[in-house]
Chain A
């Protein structure tokens, strides 16, 4: 189970805002984490705490294919991203690296900055602890659940190639 404070962002948060290209001369997750969300909110890293949750509008993660974006979010200690919708490549990358993401328009509209949010990933339940309202996100297709269960695409492929159980 995930429990953290919500940090709200608007629509079309692009991957340049999540991790600006000026920091992409490295792919070290710890380095990237220092600058997460910097061009969307320059003070985000100081404001957030481990396990906090990003709550955003439509098309989160649009733009570049940099996997550094979900990696930076995960390495900073953000436990999940809830958005009204995700851009395609970000969605893939988040699943592939094991960053929990959930799609729910109602939850995003019902969560305010600073609300306590609880997430039960296995059933896709989002609970706003502050307002005591519950929301559901659509379940992932079984194939994507398998990737997530394995802990990401690389581990999934590794086990498949070496004939191990997923």
Chain B
């Protein structure tokens, strides 16, 4: 079996499961945000149960339109807050504690290897970086899972990706996943499990791995997953110690004879930093072929690239430099712990000296919520995950996607470009 099949089998009490099989699986965590949780809360009331299945296994993360951008958004978060109080939900995160869900939950040890996690947010697939099975669902699924602790799932077929060789300078996990999506398309892994393997993955830090698993959904994947190794175990041990977590976790690995519907190999030494052009993440080009794209805004952050390592990469490039006069730069660190670490390491000074606006954690402009909406005709380069029409504001604005190094360099250049050009 594959790692994904093993986790699914373990959560539905079977020795083995096969692709295509429909199962009812027990969940270790269900999460929702300020957009998806309110309708789930309403639906939950219709089911007619006394409480949630386990008050420690529900996470309510108001991160999208927060700090509340308008009255309606405030009402949505109020609904979450009241629900959390009524059912004594342990993991409701108030402003000041909240971070972007897919950075926050691993940081707090709420996602561990071998877990089965569903979330009413498509980027829930992020936790696959830890060797967990995690996937995005809708609000009805969230409501049903809060009531029953279970979810119906179809066991996915799997694609094994093997990344061989050594990464070129400035190439990040983001570039590997953008390159992959560019090759297989936005539905290249539709309904499937994407298993990321190979030497290049072994050498990636956890932050880089989170970025890769995070964007499995952008290829249509059900989950993205990486086998836990020493890097994972070190990360998990640190997190558990820091948060005083006693829970057991399980390390699963794919069998040598596991069945894949496809095996795709890439030599990463062929890959240079990538840029996705509007309006699909699969519309990729190497940065050297980006041409002269003048920018109005650069966004660095999000559940894809808002972790401390991302901030360090950006700081390395922006240190002693200023952003280009014709654009604005918005930095969105994903959690309060990351903000604190940035202050400690002097990264905050670097960003402010470079004339970047640094925000409190929020999804903000990534989905066109607030904190950096684009006007008609404006172009942004963003380290976020989607560049669909109207994603960051006006339907006639444009979003380009890249890794952090290219975004930071472009902020200085005023156009899409590489750190090598500085």
A positions within 8 Å CB-CB of B: 12, 14, 16-17, 20-22, 24-27, 38-40, 42, 58-59, 62-68, 71, 85, 87-89, 92-93, 96-97, 141, 143, 152-155, 157-158, 161-162
Contact = CB atoms under 8 A, between A and B. Distances in A.
B65 A64 contact: no
B35 interface: yes
Interface in B334-389: 367-369, 386, 388-389
Nearest to B76: A25
Interface residues on B, range: 35 or more
A27 to B, nearest CB: 4
Nearest to B120: A65
B76 A27 contact: yes
Interface stretch (B36-44, B251-259, B319-327): B36-44
A88 B191 contact: yes
Contacts of A93: 137-138, 140-141
B140 A87 contact: no
Given A39-B395, A67-B138, A16 B390 contact: yes
Given A17-B389, A67-B138, A85 B148 contact: no
Nearest to A21: B367
Contact of B138 (A21, A22, A38, A65): A65
Contacts of B152: 143
B46 interface: yes
A12 B187 contact: yes
B72 A39 contact: no
Contacts of B42: 27
A90 to B, nearest CB: 9
Contacts of B136: 65, 89
Given A17-B390, A25-B73, A64 B122 contact: yes
B143 interface: yes
Nearest to B156: A88
B374 to A, nearest CB: 11
Contact of A141 (B22, B147, B217): B22
A59 B367 contact: no
B120 A16 contact: no
Given A65-B120, A141-B22, A158-B48, A26 B43 contact: no
Contacts of B141: 92-93, 96, 153
A59 B220 CA distance: 8
A14 B76 contact: no
A141 to B, nearest CB: 6
Given A27-B38, A141-B22, A154 B388 contact: no
Contacts of B395: 20, 38-39, 42
Given A25-B69, A38-B395, A65-B137, 17 more contacts: A16-B367, A20-B395, A22-B390, A25-B65, A27-B39, A39-B390, A40-B389, A65-B120, A67-B39, A67-B140, A85-B187, A87-B220, A92-B138, A96-B141, A154-B43, A154-B140, A157-B147
A40 B279 CA distance: 12
A154 B42 CA distance: 11
A16 B388 contact: yes
B140 to A, nearest CB: 4
A67 B138 CA distance: 5
Nearest to A91: B191
B49 interface: yes
B280 A25 contact: no
B227 interface: no
A156 to B, nearest CB: 8
Nearest to A87: B220
A158 B39 contact: no
Interface in B37-77: 38-39, 42-43, 46-49, 64-65, 69-70, 72-73, 76
Nearest to B219: A62
A97 B187 contact: no
Contacts of B388: 14, 16-17, 39, 63
B351 to A, nearest CB: 26
B222 interface: yes
